[in-house]
Chains A and B, each alone.
Chain A
């Protein structure tokens, strides 16, 4: 019975890994993986070569990188400060703000699409990457995730540390956050994955095609005689690398 369970679990895990394997194999084939399976040509770097030589693809990748880097530069400190505020603010006020942030996090972008568009027009940010960056930098995900992490630690830690310093922020930075380094890495990764995967916001706020990120427009780009798989694989690579790094490099280092 236990063996059957293990087989079923492995089968499901294989199914979860299958799309990634297909993407990888397709990216090294001529056209798609089906050609590879039918014996039409062997493994080749043709698609990667075409993708890396395509100025359009590189531009979209650059746009994604710029939007992500700028967003995270603001979002991560804001998330840390927001988490601190939610933990230390008076309970009722913090609960009300948390409720509001949770509601915002759960609702689709369409709920605020029109006002965000109008605001971006009024402020002159429409059709600039800043229009996408700014709302994303204040996404509710970061502060709520940091609050969840910090509130999992016992209050006694704050009280004990207060014997050494009167500053809440010093305790937060030197005592609380270092204990949560792994969780904070996960929050950072989630924030990055979210901003790397933006579709609706650029669709509404950017009309200039040269400003669009690859997350929205990678499939629109035609590559001569090659498939779109290398571009898709390359676009997944930063998230996969960061995810792998969080397992292989960051975690053992932090545990020391």
Chain B
């Protein structure tokens, strides 16, 4: 249905009320980050080509931070995903417990990180220099506790939508519960899985918050993340290196999100 003049005006007015804010607070900074990555420094705006990228890619702390983010973050993601895959079918099979259970699983997401960190500091030795293993466990468990629950609830909600006829037909064909879950329910809930994966990835990229609250701004090399590198370069006023690292991180994140979106689209087309 074509919009009337009044309706067009209303849409434009709504856009005018919010779009300038987004543009000023996010679009402009986003473009400025890209610009900063190609200049010599915050005080020397001459074009630097790819020098900043070459510098950060060879910097040992950038490599250390990226490696830790990859391995520590990867293990966090895998653990959280495993828990999601375990909890969602359990919720589905026990509808009596499922609703209060789902409410409880969402709760950690809402709890302020500072409150959670206070508890984790009591439960674990968070001295990252003397006990890095304990610190890794602390950060991983905090991440899984805080963010796996919402993923499990998302997947559980999607699993509930699968018609029971499909599951009955699978049972008639002799498929056990495990096989039905792995080969029928999970593929059908692929969109939710991809969404849960992207949500986890989003929180993983923001895990600096938890890390900072647990170990402070200067953790040991075992817990040094890419975000620490960026914050430290920022404090040294090396804005061009922060921007170059941000562009690289953004490119990697977008690549991963694009894979997620493609998987979701492929699933949608297949269905």
The yes or no answer to B123 lying at the interface (CB within 8 A) is: yes
Q: For B242, give its contact among A8, A110, A166 (CB under 8 Å).
A: A110
Given contacts A5-B94, A26-B122, contact A13 B104 (CB under 8 A): yes
- Give the chain B neighbours of A22 by CB distance below 8 A: 119, 122-123
Given contacts A19-B145, A26-B119, A114-B36, contact A219 B213 (CB under 8 A): yes
A170: min CB distance to chain B, Å: 9
The yes or no answer to B172 lying at the interface (CB within 8 A) is: no
Question: Are A110 and B230 interface neighbours, CB within 8 A?
Answer: yes
- Give the chain B neighbours of A189 by CB distance below 8 A: 110
Q: Which of A38-46, A176-184, A195-203 contacts B (4 or more CB under 8 A)?
A: A195-203
The yes or no answer to B205 lying at the interface (CB within 8 A) is: yes
| Per-residue B-contact encoding for A65-108, CB less than 8 Å = 1, 0 else | 00000000000011001101100110000000100110111111
Question: Are B93 and A2 interface neighbours, CB within 8 A?
Answer: yes
Q: Which of B4-12, B51-59, B158-166, B262-270 contacts A (4 or more CB under 8 A)?
A: B4-12
The yes or no answer to A239 lying at the interface (CB within 8 A) is: yes
Given contacts A19-B119, A134-B25, contact A111 B30 (CB under 8 A): yes
Given contacts A112-B29, A167-B7, A168-B7, contact A215 B231 (CB under 8 A): no
Number of interface residues of A (CB under 8 A): 84
Q: How far is the CA of A23 from the CA of B25 in the complex (A)?
A: 36
The yes or no answer to A254 lying at the interface (CB within 8 A) is: no
- Give the chain B neighbours of A174 by CB distance below 8 A: none
List which A142-167 residues lie within 8 A (CB) of chain B.
143, 159, 162, 166-167
| Per-residue A-contact encoding for B79-90, CB less than 8 Å = 1, 0 else | 000010011001
The yes or no answer to A236 lying at the interface (CB within 8 A) is: yes
The yes or no answer to A175 lying at the interface (CB within 8 A) is: no
Question: Are B91 and A9 interface neighbours, CB within 8 A?
Answer: yes
Question: Are A232 and B114 interface neighbours, CB within 8 A?
Answer: yes
- Give the chain A neighbours of B28 by CB distance below 8 A: 115, 119
| Per-residue A-contact encoding for B104-121, CB less than 8 Å = 1, 0 else | 110111111111111111
- Give the chain B neighbours of A107 by CB distance below 8 A: 205, 249-250, 253
Q: How far is the CA of A117 from the CA of B29 in the complex (A)?
A: 9
Q: For B33, give its contact among A100, A103, A111 (CB under 8 Å).
A: A111
B13: min CB distance to chain A, Å: 8
Q: How far is the CA of A113 from the CA of B231 in the complex (A)?
A: 9
- Give the chain B neighbours of A97 by CB distance below 8 A: 19
Question: Are A199 and B113 interface neighbours, CB within 8 A?
Answer: yes
**Residue among A10, A12, A159, A203 with the highest chain B CB neighbour number at 10 A:** A12
- Give the chain A neighbours of B33 by CB distance below 8 A: 111-112, 114-115
List which A204-252 residues lie within 8 A (CB) of chain B.
204, 214-216, 218-219, 228-229, 231-233, 235-236, 239-240, 243, 247
Q: How far is the CA of A247 from the CA of B112 in the complex (A)?
A: 19
Question: Are B14 and A84 interface neighbours, CB within 8 A?
Answer: yes
**Residue among A8, A111, A168 with the highest chain B CB neighbour number at 10 A:** A111
Q: How far is the CA of A117 from the CA of B33 in the complex (A)?
A: 11
The yes or no answer to B32 lying at the interface (CB within 8 A) is: yes
Q: How far is the CA of A114 from the CA of B145 in the complex (A)?
A: 31
- Give the chain A neighbours of B3 by CB distance below 8 A: 88, 168
- Give the chain B neighbours of A77 by CB distance below 8 A: 17
Question: Are B113 and A6 interface neighbours, CB within 8 A?
Answer: no
- Give the chain B neighbours of A32 by CB distance below 8 A: 122
A175: min CB distance to chain B, Å: 15
Given contacts A106-B205, A135-B26, contact A167 B6 (CB under 8 A): yes
Q: How far is the CA of A9 from the CA of B123 in the complex (A)?
A: 23
- Give the chain A neighbours of B219 by CB distance below 8 A: none
Question: Are A23 and B149 interface neighbours, CB within 8 A?
Answer: no
- Give the chain A neighbours of B118 by CB distance below 8 A: 23, 218-219, 228-229, 231-232
Known: A19-B108, A22-B123. 8 other contacts (CB 8 A): A12-B86, A85-B18, A88-B11, A100-B27, A114-B234, A117-B234, A199-B113, A219-B118
- A positions within 8 Å CB-CB of B: 2, 5-6, 8-10, 12-13, 15-17, 19-20, 22-23, 26, 32-34, 77-78, 81-82, 84-85, 88-89, 97, 100-101, 103-119, 134-135, 137-138, 140, 143, 159, 162, 166-169, 189-190, 193, 196-197, 199-200, 203-204, 214-216, 218-219, 228-229, 231-233, 235-236, 239-240, 243, 247
Can you list 14 A-B contacts with CB-CB less than 8 angstroms, sorted by A residue number?
A9-B94, A12-B87, A16-B107, A19-B108, A22-B123, A101-B22, A107-B250, A110-B208, A110-B227, A112-B30, A114-B239, A116-B25, A119-B29, A236-B112
